[in-house]
Amino acid sequence: MKMNASKKVHYDSGPNMTPLVDVVMVILIFLMLAGSFGGAEHYMVSNIPFKEKGVGGQAAPKGMIPDEPLDIRVDSTADRWVAQVGRLRASDVPTLTSQLRKMRQDLNSTGKKTDNIQVVISPGKNVKYDYLIGVYQAALEAEFTKISFATAH
């Protein structure tokens, strides 16, 4: 009895990987070309005091004046938000805008430029994102240029 099946060549090589490799290479080339190759501008100078021990930290450049911090604490009640800036409190955008505008004008009259004032919006626990948008909008309408967000207080 002849066995012809054993003389035939069997190629059991699995799935063809060539298209997969081609697609991965195209994606890799796209990401390399679309990405930015940032240098020193990637790192921000901090106004945290310099320590001799510890990780990282570089001294601020000579003549650099640290930004004036203006902290806005945002807390929420059942159906509204309450923003507190120092001793001032507001729970709607127009009131907060007028208070922030007055604070900016007071700081400008003491010699602080608007570019040297940093507004930090610090949300409380479980504050809705919509409430933060209202506070951010009020800071923009008060003509502040440096606005940032902090973690929950």
pLDDT tens-digit map of 1-15: 566 655 666 666 678
> How buried is 123 (Cβ within 10 angstroms: 0-12 exposed, 13-18 middle, 19+ buried)?
buried
Q: What is the pLDDT of residue 130?
A: 86
Q: What is the pLDDT of residue 98?
A: 92
Over pLDDT 90: what percentage of the chain?
Answer: 23
CA 82 to CA 106: how far, in whole Å? 22
Whether the pTM exceeds 0.85: the reply is: no
C-alpha distances in angstroms, 126 versus 41, 81, 133? 34, 11, 14
Write b or e for each residue in 65-82: b if 16 or more Cβ atoms lie within 10 A of its Cβ, otherwise e: eebeebebbbbbeeeebb
Which residues of the chain have a pLDDT value below 70?
Answer: 1-13, 36-61, 64-65, 152-153
Q: What is the pLDDT of residue 42?
A: 47
Contacts of 55 (CB under 8 A, 6+ apart): none
